[in-house]
Amino acid sequence: RKELVITVRGDRPINEVQADIQRDLNLAKYRIKS
């Protein structure tokens, strides 16, 4: 299983990073349900 690794690179806005994390979490929840 994939570990949740939060990396913030200087070239990416924090809200964009958070959006990616949120999407990953939503996909994980969807996979568990189905």
Buried b (16+ CB within 10 A) or exposed e, 11-27: eeeeeeeeeeeeeeeee
8-21 per-position pLDDT tens digit: 666 777 788 889 99
pLDDT value of residue 6: 63
Q: Are 8 and 14 in contact (CB under 8 A)?
A: yes
Q: Where are the alpha helices (DSSP H) in the chain?
A: 14-33
Tokens at 6, concatenated: 């939060």
Average pLDDT, the chain: 80
pLDDT value of residue 30: 86
pLDDT value of residue 26: 92
pLDDT value of residue 8: 61
Q: Are 8 and 16 in contact (CB under 8 A)?
A: no
Residue 4: pLDDT band with limits 50, 70, 90: low
pLDDT value of residue 23: 94
Q: Are 25 and 33 in contact (CB under 8 A)?
A: no
